[in-house]
Structure 1
Amino acid sequence: MYSRGSNHRLAGSAFRSQVSVLMLTMFASMASIYVAGRLWLDSENRVYLIKELDRRTGQAKSAISVDDTLKIIACREQQKKLTALEMELAAAQQEGTDLKRLEAQKGIVIRFVIGRSANRGDSSDKDIDSENMQTNDFIILNNHVEAPEEHPKKTKLFFIHAAENWNAEFYAKVNDDVYVNIDTLGATLATHLDKPRVYIGCMKSGEVFSESTHKWYEPDWWKFGDGKSYFRHASGEIYVISQALAQFISINRSILLSYAHDDVTTGSWFIGLDVKYIDDTKFCCSSWASGIFLTTHFNFKKEEKRTGKPT
């Protein structure tokens, strides 16, 4: 299914009926391991200061300077942060184990998808590499620069990578603020196994905006006729394509056009092809409250931790 920015994974479901379904989610990245390392560097000083305060307090000596007191308070705060980081790292390692179990037992593969920093090799890139060594839950697109305007390209690279590395029945793109009930999604996809070229999602159209200052500006607005309305395509929060369509994207990567928005871009690739469109309301925002798929604003989005923006 992609976007702890938003800018949020490959999942699938093998079910007990031996059905192997695979999806990927485009989520992105949180990595703060280096902070833990830096905090450890002065651990001896922190321990010494705290022990000194305890010793003086125990001897009924209150003659400790304000400066020393402030240092000790700061050290204790750093210890709290360090403890929190250690817990976060432990959770990340556990997540990696859970992902392996999910893949082995149910045929479900889940990954965060992220590109590289515009300042290649900076601390953000190092953070991502470091966390991935711990969790192995990323698809790192080394030839892609992470930026909001590059989402259509990122989506294409995601499907290419997924199709080339996992032999799946389905591939799903899911934003990082969407919580997915994997079992329910798997059951939904299992009903479409008889369709070799299927495109599933909340189908929509919508206005094409030609004003360059508009949030949803489309530079290629003139291609959509006088009515300026997009063709039917699946909403970008969550949609699924079958293996044949993912392979089509991979094979024709060099000639597939991208528009301003990733969901419109994906839909454009299937116009003119013999594709079965499935307009499923369970993939629509209005139905998420039912518990099938839910929007969730995570406290720590991986991409947001890195860029300060959601994907």
Structure 2
Amino acid sequence: MQSRGSSNRLSGLVLRSRLSALMFSMFATIASVYVAGRLWQDAQNRVYLIKELDRVSGQGQSAISVDDTLKIINCREQLKKLYALEMELAAARQEGFVSKYVSERNGTHSKKRLLAVIGIATGFGRKNNRDAIRRAWMRTGAALKKLEDEKGIFVRFVIGRSANRGDSFDRDIDNENRQTNDFIILDNHVEAPEDVSKKAKLFFVQAANSWDAEFYAKVNDDVYVNIDALGLMLSTHLDKPRVYMGCMKSGEVFSEPSQKWYEPDWWKFGNGKSYFRHAYGEIYVISRALAQFISINRSILRTYAHDDVTVGSWFIGLDVKHIHEEKFCCSSGSSGAICAAV
């Protein structure tokens, strides 16, 4: 006959056993739900990715492993984060959190962003023009370097190569450049009167890729520029990210080959035969963003007979601020002009 104590201990053991079984059942149920949920989620991701791959590739069937699925999901998440960071960076720049003169490390040296890169379009047989500009406003030697260091203005003559590569024209330019060190030589451009627009495009491409500046300007080699006044004017437009500046005009489109300013694509400009507004070719300025746009899209940008019309055409459909500046009207002789045509 069992005692009362033995009966109580037996009842306790049975109760604990039932509680343990109940807890185990609960944990097993939770674990089953969790595993099933994860498997369902993985299956859903796999189905989604397979559908996406089918949609993109146009194939009726495709297979993808779980490992590949996870890699693709991870890559997608990283791309989302990268895109978000790029948007934040762009917004910060728009708000002015990037200095106007950004210091950058270049090896062991620190250099500031230039205010302007000025390219003086010149050609073979025009050394007298170049010498006159050097004496009048461009500066030479140490003074040219001082202009870059103190005012942030980089000035060079721009020229291509001879059609007969290495002939006397090329040798003369190379010899002159060894003495003055003030040329940008476009090695992949052949100097020709009918290719001035291509030359302007290549200048902006090379300038944007070689020098970090707020503005890029093209000047003819028969124009004298007040470099100090130009620097002051450009400084007032630093807050404009996409600016196209010059003496704006809209001249006649000449359709006859015998005419001096003949435009082979005259028919593209409508029945009125009048150009859209663009900056006159003696001198015009574009901001860094526009120079970068030209560099990125150089292979698809159309060129016309005249470089000023060509450059103006590239900005017609863009969100660009066109600025008509009387001081850039070099031939007008207006007071306060920063340039003069000779």
- Whether TM-score is above 0.5 comes out as yes
How far apart are residue 190 of structure 1 and its match?
1.1
- The root-mean-square deviation of aligned C-alpha atoms, in Å, is 2.7
- Spell out structure 1 runs of 4+ moving beyond 3 A: 29-33, 285-289
TM-score w.r.t. structure 2 length? 0.61
Match of 2:227 among 182, 202, 218: 182
- Give the CA deviation at 1:19: 8.5
Shift, 1:27, TM fit: 3.6
Which residue does 2:273 correspond to in 1?
A: 228
Query: Which position in structure 2 is the counterpart of 1:280?
Result: 325
Secondary structure of the structure 1 residue equivalent to 2:120: coil
Contact 1:282 1:288 in 2 (8 A): no
Aligned to 2:156: 111
CA distances 1:91-142 after superposition (whole Å, capped 9, x unpaired): 8xx8122211211222110000001112110111111112212221000011
Deviation at residue 286 of structure 1 after TM alignment: 5.0
Residue 306 of structure 1: aligned partner: none
Q: 8 Å contact 1:31–1:127 — kept in the other structure?
A: no
Residues 238-277 of structure 1 aligned to structure 2 (within 5 Å): 238-277=283-322
CA distance in 2 between counterparts of 1:31 and 1:102 reads: 27
Q: Judge conservation of contact 2:114–2:212 (CA < 8 Å) in 1.
A: no
Q: Identity of aligned pairs, percent? A: 69
Q: Is contact 1:113–1:140 with CA below 8 Å preserved after alignment? A: yes
- Give yes or no for contact 1:181–1:291 (8 Å, CA) kept in 2: no
Distance 1:248 1:98, change over 3 A: same
Q: Return the alpha-carbon distance in structure 1 between the equivalents of residues 194 and 311 of structure 2.
A: 15
Unaligned residue ranges in structure 2 (runs of 5+) = 1-100, 102-111
TM-score in terms of structure 1 length: 0.67
> Is 1:22 aligned with 2:109?
no
Residue 170 of structure 1 is aligned with which of 212, 215, 233?
Answer: 215
Question: Residues 183-223 of structure 1: CA distance to partner in whole angstroms, max 9, x if unpaired?
Answer: 11111111111110000001111111111111111111111
Counterparts of 1:130-169 in structure 2 under 5 Å?
Answer: 130-169=175-214
- Specify the SS of the correspondent of 1:206: coil
Distance 1:31 1:261 in 2: 21
Q: What amino acid sits opposite 2:122 in the alignment?
A: A
User: Does the 8 Å contact 1:114/1:146 carry over to 2?
Assistant: yes
**How has the CA–CA distance of structure 1 residues 245 and 141 changed in structure 2, closer, same or farther, with 3 Å as cutoff?**
same
Gaps of 5+ in 1: 1-13, 34-86, 298-311
How many angstroms apart in 2 are the aligned matches of 1:117 and 1:157? 16
CA–CA separation in structure 2 for the residues paired with 1:120 and 1:204: 37
> AA paired with 1:147?
A
Q: CA deviation at 1:284?
A: 1.1
Higher relative contact order, chain-length normalized (CA < 8 Å, sep 6+): 1
1:286-297 matches, cutoff 5 A: 287-288=332-333, 290=335, 292-297=337-342
**Closer/same/farther in 2, CA of residues 123 and 20 from structure 1, 3 Å limit:** closer
Q: Distance in 1 between matches of 2:142 and 2:124?
A: 17
Distance 1:238 1:147 in 2: 20
Q: Which whole-Å deviations, capped at 9, do the CAs of 1:43-83 have from their partners, x for residues lacking one?
A: xxxxxxxxxxxxxxxxxxxxxxxxxxxxxxxxxxxxxxxxx
